[in-house]
Amino acid sequence: MFTFGTSVLNRPSDPAKVEQLRRLCLSLPEATEKLSHGEPAWFVAGKQFANTADHHHDDRLSVWCAAPEGAQEMLVKADRKRFFRPPYVGHRGWLGVYLDIEVDWGEMAIIVERAYRRVAPRRLLVELDRRVAN
């Protein structure tokens, strides 16, 4: 809960879900975390592939991820209760996923891996493919 003047805002943060997301992101080769706009964000080779959002979109906790071409449109159309077009990066095809509802962490792992693959350099994709094969 944050206080601004006399008003109190309840933030939708869920530390357990953010921690689970963090584990997924940091399990990828050379992925790093730093704050971006005051929220956790994950990078590879200096390029961002995912970030949490709990005060940049609306009053809902979510993650924004780089996404393969066409994935955003397909997933948002299929399930608007779970997916959305995030502001600022949605025009580049990024996908928003709500985290304030029940999360399918297997599906989230796939979304995070695809986001990583969208920006990672080839040498790290080869390393990731080796890990997946074993």
The answer as to whether 102 is a domain residue is: yes
The answer as to whether 105 is a domain residue is: yes
Confidence of residue 2 (pLDDT cuts 50, 70, 90): very low
The answer as to whether 5 is a domain residue is: no
The answer as to whether 2 is a domain residue is: no
The answer as to whether 52 is a domain residue is: yes
pTM strictly above 0.75: yes
The answer as to whether 6 is a domain residue is: no
Ranges 41-50, 54-63, 125-134, most confident: 41-50
Residue 1 has what pLDDT? Answer: 38
Domain at 50, CATH number: 3.90.1150.30
How many domains does the structure of the chain reveal?
Answer: 1
| pLDDT tens for each residue of 70-107 | 999 999 999 999 999 999 899 999 999 999 999 999 99
CA distance 103 to 62: 11
Q: Residue 111: how many CB atoms within 10 A of its CB?
A: 22
Q: Return the HEC string of 21-53.
A: HHHHHHCCCCCEEEEECCEEEEEECCEEEEEEE
The answer as to whether 128 is a domain residue is: yes
Structural domain boundaries enclosing 33: 13-133
